[in-house]
Amino acid sequence: METATHTQSARINPKIIVPFVDSVRRVFATMVGVQTTVQRPHLKALAAPTYDVSSIIGFSGDIVGSVIVSFQKEAAERLASAFAGMSITADMPDFPDAIGELANMIAGGAKKHLGTLASITVPSVVIGSGHVIARLSDVPCIVIPCQTPVGAFAVEISIKQIKPARSNQGGAQ
């Protein structure tokens, strides 16, 4: 649905993106010990597929929507292992907990800098290659592609602010 380039850039609000980019860098550097290269954010086409393992965090309150952290399967296993300090494969019960916790830290870290009162849910982790996660069509989805030495992942942000920021970040919408 997003076709024109000017529409894309107009819709990518740096006040939303920057806290997530910072949070991804911080979580992966400190908690996983892996260098992450963050690539240029872009708008996602409606219902394009994700990677193989996706952790979904819901937002409610002044911000509504969801944030998905989606990994190539091998990257997910290797990053979960680095995070947990032990070998974790996708068939182990610890796997969704580790992947969910990474997403939780990314979303929780970003939330603090969004300047609004929002709650985040516990993560739901979807495992299955070729799955598609569709959000409600009135909220655009911004993808932050990320590269690590062990594979790719992406942070997909599909949230909208329904009340203005409250803190001294100031400014409406």
Please report, as ranges, the residues that interact with a second copy according to CB under 8 A.
Answer: 1, 46-47, 56-61, 64-66, 68, 93, 95-97, 100, 119-128, 130-137, 139
Q: CA torsion sign, 96 to 20 to 49 to 73?
A: negative
Distance CA(24)–CA(28), nearest Å, equals 6
Query: Nearer to a second copy by C-beta: 40 or 138?
Result: 138
Give the type of residue at 121.
T
Phi, psi of 76 (to 5 degrees): -60, -45
Query: Nearer to a second copy by C-beta: 41 or 65?
Result: 65
The residues, any chain, with a CB within 8 Å of residue 106's CB and separated by 6 or more, are 20, 23, 24, 27, 67, 69, 155
Residue 17 near residue 157, CB atoms below 8 Å: yes
Cβ of residue 128: shortest distance to a second copy, in angstroms?
3
Query: Nearer to a second copy by C-beta: 18 or 126?
Result: 126
For residue 74, what are its two tokens?
């091998």
Cβ of residue 99: shortest distance to a second copy, in angstroms?
8
Query: Nearer to a second copy by C-beta: 36 or 44?
Result: 44
Residue indicated by tokens 């100031």: 170
Cβ of residue 119: shortest distance to a second copy, in angstroms?
4
Cβ of residue 93: shortest distance to a second copy, in angstroms?
6
